[in-house]
Every structure is written in C-alpha cells, then in structure tokens.
Structure 1
Amino acid sequence: MSHTAEWKLRLQFFEDDDGTTRAQVVLDTGDTALTGRGTAHCHPADTNVPEIGDELAAGRAMDNLARQLLDAAERDIEGMGATRPAARRGARQVEGWPG
C-alpha cells in the first residue's frame, strides 16, 4: 500500500531584551497540529550572537516537538492493540515500532 503525505512546519523566533531567545515550531499534519517550544539564554558575560540563540532555541523546540510526535505515535500504536514489553516501557527506540 502506497502513501504520500505533506506536513507543514512553521518556525518562529522571539528575542527578549534580556538575551533570551524563544522558538516555537508548529507541525500541521492537516488533521492535527503539534507545537514544540524551546528557549536559549545568553550569559551576561558572553557576547550576544543572535544566530547561536536561534540555533539553540530552534533545536530545543524541534526536540520538544519530536518527543511529542513520538509519544503520539506510541499512543496510536498502543491504540491498535500493540503493547511494549515491560523492559522497554519509558525507553525510546531509535527506529521501528515497539516489538
């Protein structure tokens, strides 16, 4: 069975005067939307380089989104009747469905 889908991502940055960069990434699947958030703080003794704050905040927002997406997939898999072995509960797999 073949399947094609297109999901859209929107990434926004907000920088405060205190050197805090916040990022928000929204994944729109067409059926649902997930929002990941991340922040980065510039230490007062460091040179403020906005690009670094953007990279850190974006990476953290995408990591947050990825965890939400994996959690949703695990719930959907379990909703199909599959369960994870007790030894694997709470641990993430790198690839594939839980066995």
Structure 2
Amino acid sequence: MSHTAEWKVRLHLFEDDDGTTKAHVVLDTGTAALTGHGTAHCNPADTNVPEIGDELAAGRAMHDLAHQLLNAAGNDIQGMGAHQPGTREPAGWPM
C-alpha cells in the first residue's frame, strides 16, 4: 500500500524585552492542526544572545509538539482496538 502526504510546519519566534523567547510551532496535516509551545529565559547575568534563546525555545516547542503527536498516534492505535502500551501483546509499529 502506497501513501504520500505533505504536512506543513510553521515556527513562530517572539522575544520580549525581558529576555524571554517564546516559540509556537504549528503542524498542519490538512485535516488537523497541533501547536507546540516552548520558552527560554536569558539569565540577567549572561550575555543576551538571541540565537541561543531562539534555539532553546524552538527546540522545546518541537519537543512539546512531538509528545502531542505521539500521544495522538497512541490514542488512534487504541481507537483501532489495539492493546494499551505496557500489556503483553504489542500494537502498532515498533520504534
């Protein structure tokens, strides 16, 4: 069975005057959208390097999105009548 799909990802970064960087990453599957959030705070004693805040906030937002996507897949697997994780009978695809 062949399957092709295109999902779009948008990453938005915002930096406040207080050195806080916020990131929102939006995954659009065409039928659903998930949004991950992440923040990074610059220590007042450190040199403010915006790129580092962007990297940390974006990474945390993508990490949040990844957890949401894995949870959605787990819920879909269970919805198909598969056994829950931790039971003796495996379901879905192995990592």
Structure 1 length-normalised TM: 0.87
Q: In 2 relative to 1, CA 57–78 (structure 1 residues): closer, same or farther, beyond 3 Å?
A: same
> In percent, how many aligned pairs have the same letter?
78
Number of residues paired by the alignment?
91
Runs of 4 or more consecutive aligned structure 1 residues displaced over 3 Å after TM superposition: 85-88
Q: Which residue of 2 aligns with 1:76?
A: 76
> What SS does structure 2 have at the residue aligned with 1:72?
helix
> What SS does structure 2 have at the residue aligned with 1:23?
strand
> What does the per-residue CA deviation read over 1:7-58, in whole Å, with 9 as the maximum and x for residues that have no partner?
0000000000000000000000000000000000000000000000000000
Q: In 2 relative to 1, CA 56–2 (structure 1 residues): closer, same or farther, beyond 3 Å?
A: same
Q: Unpaired runs of 5+ in structure 1?
A: 89-95
Q: Which residue of 1 aligns with 2:18?
A: 18
Q: Unpaired runs of 5+ in structure 2?
A: none
> What does the per-residue CA deviation read over 1:65-87, in whole Å, with 9 as the maximum and x for residues that have no partner?
00000000000000000012546
Structure 2 length-normalised TM: 0.90
Q: Which residue of 2 aligns with 1:59?
A: 59
Task: Note the aligned Cα RMSD (angstroms).
Answer: 1.6
Q: 2: distance between equivalents of 1:49 and 1:27? A: 27
